[in-house]
Chains A and B, each alone.
Chain A
């Protein structure tokens, strides 16, 4: 096209070609890095804040829970029950044949290996949503010494498995990990 010829003359232009290519690559790569560096804050701002992350992954002290009782923790709007089993409760429930239950689940599926005296469940009845009773030894617990639903009378064992009642699903187990013998992190 008229007038678009590069400013430069013959040999000098051929001589400059690699130099120009180098400058082009340099400009484009610097530009790409710059765009990435500017774009990252915009994207990272969409991530959860550190406060939000910390609130979503609370660390719970379970060292103070007495045997045969459970504590209640509010986590993301759900009541979480953390219960410490007695040796008798473990012995009673360890060898129950899963197929004999309404929602078959064996002992190892309800506790973490190495921490089998702790049961962590969402404390809501799986039939009609209703908070369960039975955290304190003095609460009504039903025939299996677990939890009882005050609304529809569903019965759960200490592992949170449904034994009878309108509900036909075991209590949900939230995502959690044991940090050590006395600390547990939800989320």
Chain B
């Protein structure tokens, strides 16, 4: 059993310290995903809190056989953020959602200077090809299906999988 498995088990048994550790591990990532969808700092703060509280309250419904713990929270976060963008009040205040992708946010993110791997990631996104941008944006940040992604990029659905791997492979080369 890995450390992560143990941590998740403790989290499911309502261990607040385990929760805090998991939060430290994933909160920035989840925040980034949510922010990329709603593009509002205050709203994404609020949403991310909701997401983690929801995860805490429904902890027993997670099972490692269903996927990674991070993936589980990622799904909750994407759904919450997308629901938010569909809500009436959100539509009224955010008529023109920025069409920028995650790469633009990262490229212009001043906050990154303090983070490790920041330079690598910034370099990575500036070098990233259009297809990779769309693939990662859709499959990972927005949670679109492979079919939707394939249709937008006008590539065969089988290609989505391999192309996506090579895009992420480049990222790994930069940050690890």
B is bound to A: no
